[in-house]
Amino acid sequence: MLSQDWPQTYQEAVALQESLRGQVRLIPLSRPPRFVAGADAIAARADRRIFGAIAVYSYPELELVEEAGAAGVCPFPYRTGLLSFREVPILAAAFEKLKQRPDVLLVDGQGIAHPRGLGLATHLGLVLEVPTIGVAKSRLLGNGEEPGRDAGAAIPLIWQGKVVGLILRTQTGKKPFYLSPGHLITLAESREIVMGCVRRYRSPIPLRQADGLSRRLRSAASDPEETRRAPAPDKWR
């Protein structure tokens, strides 16, 4: 399927990114989103397995609608700027299991705030043909001042003289996220939706849920014994 002609070398991966960059479309959503999902993947270095998870929520109510997960083998090593070649296949596999197709997908990584404009969120959006938003916990590139302390405060993320995203504070006094549109969405819409997905945690709810599911998948797969481990000693109760 997808991993057959998947890039095997650094050069092939970079060439694919450069051939895809012209297909990225930062256009407004066709309609207000009713279902927003979060996507995250996590790897187990020991056996090179990787687990992907997607959690779909109603929007703006933010009630969990559906979750899906997938497991596989890492198809590419981690390299700065090439994260998508590691995570797109497993996230696409999880996405295909969904019964409810989300209107927007929040992704744990950069959107267009990337050396060739093709961060994980952008690449995944192109492959799935779904609007995506990149929500990264740290910076890959670009400059911008520290946003104000209040929740919702944001500063443009500038790279090569252009605004490629926002440094966005989701919770008062907490570390901000690096937001950038992925595909089929605008920066303003991305900001609005991400803030609309924040409740009592720093991470947007759909992303937090997907992160939790991917971690549970990894534990369940790496600790077969753990599933039915011995009960706690009496003296612990």
Binding site for DNA (CB under 7 A): 40-46, 78, 80-84, 108-110, 114, 119-121, 134, 136-141, 218
The separation between the first and the last C-alpha atoms of the chain, rounded to the nearest angstrom, is 51
**Integer-rounded Cα radius of gyration of the chain:** 18
Q: Which amino acid is at 118?
A: L
Smallest distance from DNA to CB 115, Å: 8
Smallest distance from DNA to CB 108, Å: 5
Smallest distance from DNA to CB 99, Å: 26
Residue 134 or 206: the one with the smaller Cβ distance to DNA is 134
Within the chain, strands assigned E span: 35-44, 49-58, 64-73, 104-107, 132-136, 154-159, 162-168, 177-183
Residue 69 or 81: the one with the smaller Cβ distance to DNA is 81
Residue 64 or 221: the one with the smaller Cβ distance to DNA is 221
| Tokens standing for residue 108 | 């744990």
| Length of the chain (residues) | 237
Residue 139 or 202: the one with the smaller Cβ distance to DNA is 139
Smallest distance from DNA to CB 40, Å: 6
Task: Report the side by side order of strands in the sheet with 64-73.
Answer: 64-73, 49-58, 35-44, 104-107, 132-136, 177-183, 162-168, 154-159
